[in-house]
Structure 1
Amino acid sequence: MLIPNNDVGHLVKSTQAFVSLALRGGRGVMGTGQPMQPKKMLVLYEHEACPYSRRVREVMTRLNLDYESRPSPHKGHVYRDELEELTGKTQVPFMIDENFAEGEEGHQILDSQAIIDHLFTHYSKKGSTPPKFQREHKKDNASIVNKAASMASMMRGVRAVHPKKNEARGKPDEPLHLYGFEASPFCRLVRERLSELEVGYINHNVAREQIKDIGAFGFHLTLGEYQPIKGGKRDQLMNGELNGKLLFPYLVDPNTGAQMYESQDIISYLNDIYG
């Protein structure tokens, strides 16, 4: 992490993350309020700066699916060695879907387009991949624009920052829980640090489901009192584990009991506990 996590450094990183959002045209912002969440948690080996992993995460937000992220950055060992044992490669993204039996097609999937097709086939109401998410659509491959979106964040999250220390620390006893959505610049900063530290976590997608969900810093695009779509995922979370507050990123660490908002505070916490 070349830029320090002070006020000025955080502003610089946030600006870079906004550029990533702009380059991807806002993908990874909106999603369905009624996701078809599988019974068993999806597992994704990835790293934050990988443009192919980004394509998959954007679709996960579109479908509003939760998943377990196992960060596998370059030079890392905590999950990357495990990935190589499973596939014979260190290629990401790689997904495990335990809703399909071991050895059955769909249980293990390597390649971003194959993962995207699997997600739309089994976890969307339409049951097929929309044209703009197909590889043949030149605007959505891991194109120059997509790769530029990764470069805009100076490739943070692409490499393990302290591989030997991370490996010695090992995996947390329980994965952390991160609430947010793919395109949020502030969520991106937290995911980048989790990737660098090789800390596994459950990514709870809380995609925007309607126009008035758009906002920042606790304010929303509405003239009256903000209300999420009744019965939608945001509504359920706001009246459940989020205790009436839809502000992201929100981190829960069951290993320490920590619960916190604000990306800069979360990054400081991760540095103190896992750095």
Structure 2
Amino acid sequence: MSTIDLLNSLMTSAVRGWRGTSSFSAKATAPEQLLKLYDMEGCPYCRLVREVLCELDLDAMIYPCPKGGMRFRPEALDQAGINQFPILVDPNTGVVMLESADIVNYLYETYGNTRKRVPARGPVRQFQVATSMAATATRSVLGARGIYAKASSAPEQPLELYSFESSPYSRPVRELMCELELPYHLRNFGKSRWQEMGPPGVRRRFFPDAPITSPNRQRMFELTGRFQVPYLIDPNTGMDLYESTEILRYLNETYGGE
């Protein structure tokens, strides 16, 4: 990932006030079955839902539906009767839901253990949508990232990605996975304690004994002994990779093209 790309991704996160960074504001009850999200990475409405998934520390199976894509858009149409994104499917309750504000409130009410709600209309909602659109516009300076489908080969099994929504390093990886229509288990990696804010080196140097409170952080530490995103696991090839530049190269070489 180039320096320009990184700076642009940092600006994109800043425009949204770094929403989708922490998970210590609301603790969720994890669903038994994995939530499903039909998603377009560059869509401002999808971003609002992904931010709350991160805040609530909820995993989801992501089915990318970029414009021009045909791998999951027909399936999304069967689920909701319309190609409008995001679409949330909750196999635990049988709910199939459109509209980002409705989805956000559903997640809070069903899994969030919180009374927090997002108004479906009014100034707060308008501000959220406007800043998310501004974030998309900021990212679009370098091209329509995470919006249009590219030719790709489909993996037999979904990939697995450790990420948090505002991570400037994870965003380019999610964008490419969307463009290549690669389904993946999103393992949200929101910072669950104030000691985890900042780069991984800060925790290692100043708070090495701070307890781990996030299930995905505990899982990564058991697997790798590290806390760093993005982290990609590909069960189809047995590969696991850190570093966004290496992951981007791997995805293009393994799944890019026909």
TM-score (norm 1): 0.85
Offset of residue 226 of structure 1: 2.5
Offset of residue 12 of structure 1: 1.6
| Aligned counterparts of 2:216 and 2:181: Cα–Cα separation in 1 | 28
| Aligned counterparts of 1:25 and 1:137: Cα–Cα separation in 2 | 20
| Aligned counterparts of 1:238 and 1:226: Cα–Cα separation in 2 | 16
Instruction: Pick one of 142, 145, 161 that aligns with 1:156.
Output: 145
| Aligned counterparts of 2:79 and 2:217: Cα–Cα separation in 1 | 38
> 2:60 matched to 1:67?
yes
| Aligned counterparts of 1:88 and 1:125: Cα–Cα separation in 2 | 31
Change in CA separation of 1:234 and 1:161 when aligned onto 2, cut-off 3 Å: closer
Q: Secondary structure at the match of 2:97?
A: strand
State the percentage of identical aligned residues: 32
| Aligned counterparts of 2:212 and 2:247: Cα–Cα separation in 1 | 30
Offset of residue 140 of structure 1: 4.4
Matches within 5 A, 1:96-115: 96-101=89-94, 107-115=95-103
Indicate if the aligned counterparts of 2:45 and 2:129 stay in contact, CA closer than 8 A.
no
Number of residue-to-residue matches in the alignment: 251
Instruction: Pick one of 18, 36, 51 that aligns with 2:10.
Output: 18
Q: Which amino acid aligns with 1:120?
A: Y
Q: Which amino acid aligns with 2:103?
A: I
Matches within 5 A, 1:105-254: 107-126=95-114, 128-130=115-117, 133-136=118-121, 138-141=123-126, 143-154=129-140, 155-162=144-151, 166=152, 169-170=153-154, 172-216=155-199, 218-220=200-202, 224-233=206-215, 236-241=218-223, 243-254=224-235
Change in CA separation of 1:144 and 1:41 when aligned onto 2, cut-off 3 Å: same
Q: Which amino acid aligns with 2:17?
A: G
> 2:11 matched to 1:30?
no
Q: Show CA shifts across 1:125-150 (max 9, x none).
A: 12x334xx333353444533211101
Q: Give me the CA root mean square deviation.
A: 1.9
Indicate if the aligned counterparts of 1:14 and 1:186 stay in contact, CA closer than 8 A.
yes
Q: Secondary structure at the match of 1:53?
A: helix
| Aligned counterparts of 2:91 and 2:217: Cα–Cα separation in 1 | 28
Structure 1 alignment gaps of length 5 or more: 102-106
| Aligned counterparts of 1:34 and 1:233: Cα–Cα separation in 2 | 12
Offset of residue 236 of structure 1: 2.2
TM-score (norm 2): 0.90
Offset of residue 209 of structure 1: 1.1
Offset of residue 231 of structure 1: 4.2
Q: Show CA shifts across 1:74-100 (max 9, x none).
A: 111011121122222110000110001
Structure 2 alignment gaps of length 5 or more: none
Indicate if the aligned counterparts of 1:212 and 1:226 stay in contact, CA closer than 8 A.
no
| Aligned counterparts of 1:223 and 1:202: Cα–Cα separation in 2 | 31
Q: Show CA shifts across 1:96-139 (max 9, x none).
A: 100014xxxxx21111111111100111112x334xx3333534
